Amino acid sequence: MKHVSVLKSEVLDQFSYLKGKAGIFVDGTLGMAGHSLSLENISDKLKIIGIDADEEALGLVKKELSVSKHSKNFILVHNNFKSIKKILVELNIEKIDGALLDLGVSSMQLDQKDRGFSFQDSTQLLDMRMDQTRDLTAAKILNFYKENQLSQIIFNYGEEKFARIIAKNIIEFRKKTPITTIHLLLNILDISIPKSVQMRSKTHFATKTFQALRIEVNGELDGLDQAIKDFASVLRPGGRLAVISFHSLEDRIVKKTFSFLAHPCQCPSEMPCICGLVPEIKILTKKPIIPSAEETTNNPRSRSAKLRVLEKISNTTNK
């Protein structure tokens, strides 16, 4: 499937305040740079810092930029967006004018069958690493994690109600042979999830477990709340952070963190505030922005996307 940036026009609308202006924009999950390249239609004066944990994605973007007149506008960084403060220090940048986080796995990664993100080619190895320099793979989780660890991961990250039986069957299977390929995992899931449930489900029976393994391999939820706080702290007043999430676990963290930043005072409502904490941001999306019916028809992978946006406000009270 061709790479298609999700909610592109909606994202660009949120950064229309940058039109024609110079400034610094951070794309914390650059991918194939679909959103960032489109930002140049708003302003060709922006300096865009493109961060991605996937070296292969960065290589492809670098190649595309090599024939672009706007290549000088981009700074490509191989890192995780959760290290935003360190990245900006290394670039000698104090504040930024806008930022985007497009969470989860990219279309490119899903379509590269040898990366093991998709169950469409069952002959592939169970990898699922966004950052190929990391050591942990899905196969290592399946072959070395204890049964209770597997059950918790599949239940918590995949919201799979058959997590316990799946974990039990993984343990039994790996006693006979290592679980290294997608085909072997699909066999385990097939015998673990009742056929009646599989037939009624709107999604493939392996979807939830694959999601859980991918999140564990890449530590996708670890430190996401702190990363959002860090991005908010480096925004200039009037600057915005837009976050696109693709499943309820991510969106829950984004929503909760946005709410905390907008209402940091935890003092009892009936008592005078003694903490001195005042809002750093205001939330621009009371409800998340979701794809149009046309977009979900043209790009089914966008159907679960939710966009939330915050704006930094002037604040000299908090330290």
Give binding residues as ranges.
33-35, 52, 81, 102, 109
Q: First CA to last CA across the chain, in angstroms?
A: 47
* Sequence ranges of the binding site for S-adenosyl-L-methionine: 33-35, 52, 81, 102, 109
**Beta strand residue intervals within the chain, DSSP E:** 23-27, 46-52, 74-78, 96-102, 235-245, 281-283, 306-312
Strands 46-52 and 74-78: parallel
* DSSP SS3 for 73: helix
Q: What are phi and psi of 250, to 5 degrees?
A: -65, -50
Q: Write the CB contacts of 168 (distance below 8 Å, at least 6 apart in sequence).
A: 147
Residue written as token pair 């069952």: 122
Q: Write the CB contacts of 166 (distance below 8 Å, at least 6 apart in sequence).
A: 150, 151, 154, 160, 188, 189, 192, 193, 209
d(CA 165, CA 217): 21
